[in-house]
Amino acid sequence: MNAALAFKLTHLQAMLLFALVISIAFGFLGKRKPADRVKYIAWTLFLFLLVGVGIGWAMYPFSH
């Protein structure tokens, strides 16, 4: 494989990807039952996005 990898992601795409992957890892490590895992993954993902978007908006006034 000679072609170099090159991903161009927007801030939102990078945050979504990061939050999703980490949420899945936390869900599988933290819970045993599939239903509990799904709930935990959804909840963690929601919190990641909430905090990420929240901090983004909190910084908004300083960028203007």
**Among residues 29, 8, 18, 28, which one has the least CA distance to residue 52?**
18
User: Taking a C-beta distance cutoff of 8 angstroms, is the pair 28, 14 a contact?
Assistant: no
User: What's the min distance (Å) between Cβ of 64 and another protein?
Assistant: 19
- 4 binds another protein per the rule CB under 8 A: yes
Planar angle of CA 12, 14, 17, nearest 5 degrees: 105
The nearer residue to another protein, 10 or 62, going by C-beta atoms, is 10
Map residues 9-48 to x or -, x wherever contact with another protein holds by CB under 8 A: x-x--x--xx--xx-xx-xxx--x----------------
| Residues sharing a CB contact under 8 Å with residue 38, sequence separation 6 or more, in sequence order | 27
Point out which residues bind another protein (CB under 8 A): 2, 4-9, 11, 14, 17-18, 21-22, 24-25, 27-29, 32
